Amino acid sequence: MMGIRVIVAGANGRMGREVVKMLSQHEHLQLVGAVSRSEAGKDVGETLGLGRYGLSFTSSVAEVLNQTKADVLVDFTTPHVVAENMELAIQAGVRPVVGTSGLPEKEIERLSSLCQNKGIGAIIAPNFAIGAVLMMIFAKQAAKYMPHVEIIESHHDRKLDAPSGTAVKTAEMIVQTREEMKQGHPEEKEILDGARGAYYQGFRIHSVRLPGLVAHQEVLFGGNGQLLTLRHDSLNRESFMPGVKLAIEKVIELDKLVYGLENILD
């Protein structure tokens, strides 16, 4: 396989660090740029405890795109900057692989048109854990036969957005097969605001935030006399890395934006 030159945005964050480590374990993946505003100028490897790299952190995506020839930009930053980072990359002919959550549907559509105009590939995946993607696929299958469903997602309390990108993506996949209807008692009343969770096309999504959690989701299907539970747990951030590696390899072959890892799994 040809070498792929990769920039990581958010390289000093919890996910970014894992990506930098994963890249160092694969000869065909080469880290050529790492963005961290707080660590700009410092050696990437030394800062992340991986030994001297001879490559320093850059303070912005614009700067690193200007200075470096790259094939792929991996972005694990924040919902506020991800769209701008993606746009800069696409304009520079660098393919984005994005895990940052919180991108609104309208923005995804706009970035998709941008990719189309440029004839360039991009991948946005709300969840890079392959087990979680399988959970979504199974949820879509089950919803056709068991349309009474609720999603409960649980994450660490540093997470900025709710519900999680995975929960939203699961809901979107569920409605592709679920007969549309409003669940629960027609006269149901919340004693405390938000008690029944977020409303999505007739069913509910609940978000739990606690220290100690990483990324977990249950999809509950109820029927007369039966309950089906699909559950996935990411126990650490390594769980996302096979999916990130796969996306880096696949995005090179794409000429449009693909949303969701399930669309690149063979």
The packing angle between helices 105-118 and 82-91, to 10°, is 10
Contacts with ligand NAD by CB under 6 A: the residue count is 24
Q: Which tokens hold the place of 194?
A: 């938000």
Among 40, 62, 81, 162, contact with ligand NAD (rule: CB under 6 A)? 81
Q: Which tokens hold the place of 202?
A: 């007739």
Among 34, 72, 90, 125, contact with ligand NAD (rule: CB under 6 A)? 125
Q: Is residue 155 flagged as an active site residue?
A: yes
One-character DSSP codes across 53-100: -S-B-BS-HHHHHHH---SEEEE-S-TTTHHHHHHHHHHTT-EEEE--
Nearer to ligand NAD, 152 or 215 (CB): 215
The Cα–Cα gap between 212 and 217 comes to: 15
Catalytic, out of 26, 118, 148, 159: 159
- CB–CB of 261/116 below 8 Å? no
Question: What is the number of alpha carbons within 13 Å of residue 165 lying toward its C-beta?
Answer: 23
Q: Is residue 256 flagged as an active site residue?
A: no
Q: Is 12 in the site for ligand NAD (CB under 6 A)?
A: yes
Q: Is 78 in the site for ligand NAD (CB under 6 A)?
A: yes
Choices 64-72, 110-118, 122-130, 174-182 (CB under 6 A): range interacting with ligand NAD: 122-130
Catalytic, out of 140, 155, 169, 206: 155
Nearer to ligand NAD, 206 or 237 (CB): 237
Choices 41-49, 113-121, 123-131, 218-226 (CB under 6 A): range interacting with ligand NAD: 123-131
Nearer to ligand NAD, 4 or 132 (CB): 132
H or E element that contains 106: helix 105-118
Nearest CA-CA partner of 61 in 91, 35, 90, 99: 35
Catalytic residues: 155, 159
Residues that bind ligand NAD (CB under 6 A): 9-10, 12-16, 35-38, 76-78, 81, 99-101, 125-128, 159, 240
